[in-house]
Chains A and B, each alone.
Chain A
Amino acid sequence: MLIETTLSGVILGGMYALVALGLTLQYGVARIMNLSYGELLIAAAFAALWFSSGLMVNPLIGLLVVPPAAFAVSYVIYRVLLAPLVRRAANRDALEVDSILATFGLLFVIQGVMLAAFGGAYFSYSFLAVPVQIAGVTVAANRLLALVLALAIGLGLYLALTRTRLGTAVRAVAVDPTAAQLVAIDVRAVAAFAFALGGALTAAAGVLVSMFLTFNANLGVVFTLKALVVVIMGGVGNLLGALIAGLILGLVENYVAVLVDPGLTLAATYAIFLIVLLLRPQGILGRANR
């Protein structure tokens, strides 16, 4: 049972890490603290549901269509809704507060649209819901596939950020926007791109999550919360940190749910979050500021 718990904890943690990747780009690079993050994820899950149950096609096709659409939507949101706030903000703190407020409003708009369309009922669809044996432990095939795809996406992002010109620009802006400007990087364009890419990753996570999770229109907040906790725990803008934090969170939640009480998982999440913040305010892999 311990192995089983650990394995499902790793799968959950991998998903959390993927869910957090998009946010770490949006917050770490574009400096937008996006509270409507989880709503986009759930919207993507509904889109995948539509592919699977409405169009009767493989939801993996959704993985090819939904993230690019989310990229476009996020890009427009950044340009129309958030860029004015970036221009208006006197400093980073002001932008953080403004973006929190604006995306908080956005949260209610997106959630309201989904509630109007789907109501508060829970949805799920059946895809690859067959058991697979690994090392003597039974796992659902859809969860395993989701984890593998999540790792592939995470690795792809890592390579894109470290091996390409645009990726280098994105990392430069994450470290120091002012200095990035000095080496002729168009910081605003990079920020818009990073925000949109973050949106695309969120949507990918939404599609993957929808393959094995029952969801409803109100669930976005939970994902936003988990993503925020993972991003901050891992160190803002740090992909490896997000992976480690996601795994810690997934494992602890699973152990608490199995060994203690399923009703206390959120309390466990918060306890770890606080412990990490009090011991290492900059996050597990974050750098101390001078």
Chain B
Amino acid sequence: MSALLEVAGLTRRFGGLIAVDSLDFAVEPGEIVGLLGPNGSGKTTVLNLLSGVLRPDAGRIVFRGQAIAGSPAHRIARLGMARTFQLVRPLASLSCRDNVLAGLAFGRRNAWGDAARAEADRLLERVGLGLAGDTLPGALTYIDQKRLELARALALQPELLLLDEWLAGLNPTELDAGIALVRGLSGQGITILLVEHVMDAIRSLCRRCLVMNTGRLIATGSPAEVLADPEVVRAYLGDEADA
């Protein structure tokens, strides 16, 4: 079986700083892969490179057999890669339904009209916002705005979903619901790459993790394996942990 996403030699610099340094990894269809690392290690930059916000300085990104490095974001989205943002970014002047409709109308579904509106409502219900169709995102709580972002991403009918700290900031009950939701999406056949700090979520969702530090991949393996890796411990806690 060939990989859904293949990254080779991916590199991006900001001025003198190398944010992502010749990264290699692959994601197989159906996986839930965790992308870990201390703050500033380059995780969000990786998501920005994958989804087309940033152009890589070097390297290859192959998604569903197509080279997409440097492609515009809208083309990558239509190819079936959707994402959420670390800080929620709802379209503030659009109702929740229209937020989702945007993804339906311009993504792979190419849907419009009453059928598309019904589908948007169905997706809102799927993430637990069934009654919010006519509400403006500003009236939602933070967690509900996160749900809305997820619904908008799902509207693209993605094969690969990039979640950027989507589970951060939730209380224990919400976290359980969020984990169940992500697992449900995976059950529908959506492959998921998630950047996350919440270790409980990582442990219960991911079979495989990638750990980054200062732009480089320092460990891969199961959550238990990578968390036991001395280099990972050093990256999180600093050199004193050596002693």
Contacts and interface: CB of A to CB of B under 8 A. Distances in A.
- Do A and B bind? yes
B227 to A, nearest CB: 28
Nearest to B45: A290
Interface in A275-289: 287-288
B187 interface: no
Nearest to B19: A290
A288 B15 CA distance: 7
Interface in B149-199: none
Contacts of A288: 14-15
Interface size range on A against B: under 10
Interface in B9-28: 14-15, 19
B92 to A, nearest CB: 11
B109 to A, nearest CB: 31
Nearest to A288: B14
A212 B21 CA distance: 54
Contacts of A290: 14, 19, 45
A186 B185 CA distance: 49
Nearest to A289: B14
Contacts of B19: 290
A290 B14 CA distance: 7
Contacts of B14: 288, 290
Interface string A246-290: 000000000000000000000000000000000000000001101
A179 to B, nearest CB: 15
B148 to A, nearest CB: 21
B110 to A, nearest CB: 31
A219 B203 CA distance: 68
A181 B15 CA distance: 25
Contacts of A287: 15
Interface in B27-46: 45
A288 B54 CA distance: 11
Contacts of B15: 287-288
A55 to B, nearest CB: 51
Nearest to B48: A290
A235 to B, nearest CB: 12
B77 to A, nearest CB: 21
Contacts of B45: 290
A60 B15 CA distance: 43
A236 to B, nearest CB: 16
A287 B15 CA distance: 7
A287 B13 CA distance: 12
Interface string A69-95: 000000000000000000000000000
Nearest to A290: B14
Nearest to B54: A290
A283 to B, nearest CB: 14
A287 B14 CA distance: 8
Nearest to B53: A290
A218 B86 CA distance: 49
A201 B45 CA distance: 40
A290 B45 CA distance: 8
B24 to A, nearest CB: 23
A288 B48 CA distance: 14
Interface in A34-86: none
Nearest to B15: A287
A87 B19 CA distance: 35
A281 to B, nearest CB: 12
A288 B57 CA distance: 13
A225 B19 CA distance: 37
A176 to B, nearest CB: 15
Interface in A118-173: none
Interface string A222-262: 00000000000000000000000000000000000000000
B18 to A, nearest CB: 13
A290 B46 CA distance: 12
A106 B103 CA distance: 43
Interface string B97-141: 000000000000000000000000000000000000000000000
A276 B15 CA distance: 18
Interface string A165-202: 00000000000000000000000000000000000000
A178 to B, nearest CB: 14
Interface string A204-228: 0000000000000000000000000
A72 to B, nearest CB: 39
A54 to B, nearest CB: 52
A289 to B, nearest CB: 9
A290 B13 CA distance: 10
Q: Which 5 A-B pairs have the closest CB atoms?
A: A290-B14, A287-B15, A288-B14, A288-B15, A290-B45
6 contacts: A287-B15, A288-B14, A288-B15, A290-B14, A290-B19, A290-B45
